[in-house]
Amino acid sequence: MEEDIEEASADADADVDALADTEIDDDAVEDGDIEDDADAEDDADFDEEEGGRERSAQADAMWNDVRIEPVEIALLKGVGFTLRAYRLNTELTPTEVDEEEDDFAILHRRPAEDEEDDRVVILENAELFEDEEPEPAAVEASSAKSRKKPAKKDDADSDESDESDEAAELDKDSDKPADTDDEDAEAEDDEDEEEEEEEEPEEVPAFLSHRGKLLLFRSVEGLVEFVKSDAEHDLTQLDTWESLRKRITVAAVVPTDENHYELDLVVENLRGGQDAWDTDLLLAAGEAARDLAYALRLEPVRTALSPGSPLDDLDEGLRAAAAGGMGGFFAKRRLKKIGAQQAALGWRTIIGKISAAVDWRD
């Protein structure tokens, strides 16, 4: 019995020592020497999530070298990844667009002016359409009138007409004045200068697309696999494409914040009214839509966002309002005049055109 009591006492002393050790460990945690297990797990999860969103310095260097960037676009059908590059228009060949058949083309067709009609029409009573001979009385009257004109007057008229014809021939044969030649030469020089100014190269966007369709990948793995393949697309003409094919990795495909476009939220945001409009969201959507319209040759979208259009005025007003100052004050007043429903309908059409030009890939 005494032995059992001694064993129980020894066990109690051991528990006290363990408890003391635990208290010391807790003190170490409070001092910051040892981390709590739960906090360590949370930090590990946080680091893992942050690592998936941040791009390494090596990836930054690779994208800067090839001058191509990954882009993330959100549409109503989902979120996809693609690539975009900016080059001079003299270095790019525009994408080939399949011409759509016009179901109403026959309604707009007009016969050519010089087109001959080879159709043969058979008339049952052809004699009814023959030219009728003039009555004898009418013939005699006309001949009588011609006889009443004096011969001298006819001779005078013929002489005057001959003189006018000779004068006209002399005018045709005469050379142009020197002043006229100088003016024509100056006009030609001005036209040449205008052509040179128009041909000045400009930087334009190009996307991972093919025959007017944007290639949008639902996964980064699918995008990388496609880039490394020999598939045909519009970015193969870039001078840095082969370098990207060799260096791209799944971990490197991380779009920056500037390359995220949430087109699926634009219409809903506009319908909320001016007070709810998200300036960053709408301006970024306008940038993406303009780039896609140019690269994919979506003329209706380019027209809807062209300078002077209501949606372009909306962009300008949002930029001015975000800048603040007196200009921002007047810009806010102008924005109130833009109908939210009208802007939402316009953007709904734009997003529909862009969505129709997307080729979704896995």
Residues 26 and 158 in one domain: no
The pLDDT of residue 192 is 62
Same domain for 180 and 46: no
Domain's final residue, options 197, 217, 250? 197
Structural domain includes residue 108: no
Residue at 59 is within a domain? yes
Three-state secondary-structure class, residue 85? strand
Q: Is residue 12 part of a domain?
A: no
Amino acid of residue 289? A
- In this structure, the answer to whether residues 218 and 342 fall within a common structural domain is yes
Tell me: do 61 and 175 sit in the same domain. no
Residue 55: left (phi > 0), alpha (psi -120 to 50), or beta? beta
Mean pLDDT for each consecutive 10-residue tract of the chain (362 residues)? 50 49 43 43 40 80 97 97 96 78 40 48 51 50 48 49 54 53 65 65 96 96 97 96 96 96 96 90 96 96 93 89 65 72 94 97 92
End-of-domain residue from the set 197, 219, 247? 197
Q: In the 3-class helix/strand/coil scheme, how is 217-285 assigned residue by residue?
A: ECCHHHHHHHHCCCCCCHHHHCCCHHHHHHHCCCCCCCCCHHHEEEHHHHHHHHHCCHHHCCHHHHHHH
Residue where a domain terminates, one of 159, 175, 197: 197
Task: Domain of residue 43: give its range.
Answer: 22-50
Give the pLDDT score at 130: 53
User: Is 215 inside a domain boundary?
Assistant: yes
Pair 220, 268 in one domain:
yes
Torsion sign across C-alpha atoms 204, 209, 210, 211: negative
Q: Give the residue carrying structure tokens 């990795």.
A: 249
What is the tally of structural domains in the chain?
Answer: 3
SS3 content of the chain, % helix, strand, coil (to 5): 65, 10, 25
Q: Would you state the pLDDT for residue 160? A: 53
* In a shared domain, residues 220 and 82: yes
Please report the pLDDT score of residue 40 as a whole number: 40
Please tell me the distance from the alpha carbon of residue 83 to that of residue 70, in angstroms, as a whole number: 5
String of DSSP letters for 106-133: HHH----TT---------TTGGGGSPPP
d(CA 204, CA 236): 16
Residue 185: inside a domain, yes or no?
A: yes
Same domain, 185 and 262: no
In-domain check, residue 351: yes
pLDDT at 330: 60
The token duo for 315 is: 């962009």
- What's the length of the chain? 362
Find the distance separating the first CA and the last CA of the chain, reported in whole Å. Answer: 76
What sign does the dihedral 147-153-155-161 (CA atoms) show?
negative
Q: Nearest to residue 156, comparing CAs of 144, 164, 148?
A: 164
Considering the domain boundaries, does residue 10 fall inside one?
no
User: What one-character DSSP code corresponds to residue 79?
Assistant: E
Residues 243 and 152 in one domain: no
- Shared domain check, 89 and 29: no
CA 62 from chain centre, in angstroms, equals 26
Pairing mode of beta strands 213-217, 209-210: antiparallel
CA distances from 279 to 47, 179, 232, 262, 283 (A): 31, 59, 37, 13, 6
Residues 273 and 333 in one domain: yes
Residue 34 Cα distances to 20, 22, 39, 258, angstroms: 17, 12, 11, 40
Q: What is the pLDDT at residue 133?
A: 53
Nearest Cα neighbor of 85 from 251, 225, 208 is 208
If asked whether residues 193 and 255 sit together in one domain, one would say no
Residue 16 domain-assigned (yes or no): no
Residue 151 CA to residue 327 CA, distance in Å, equals 85
Give yes or no: residues 215 and 301 share one domain. Answer: yes
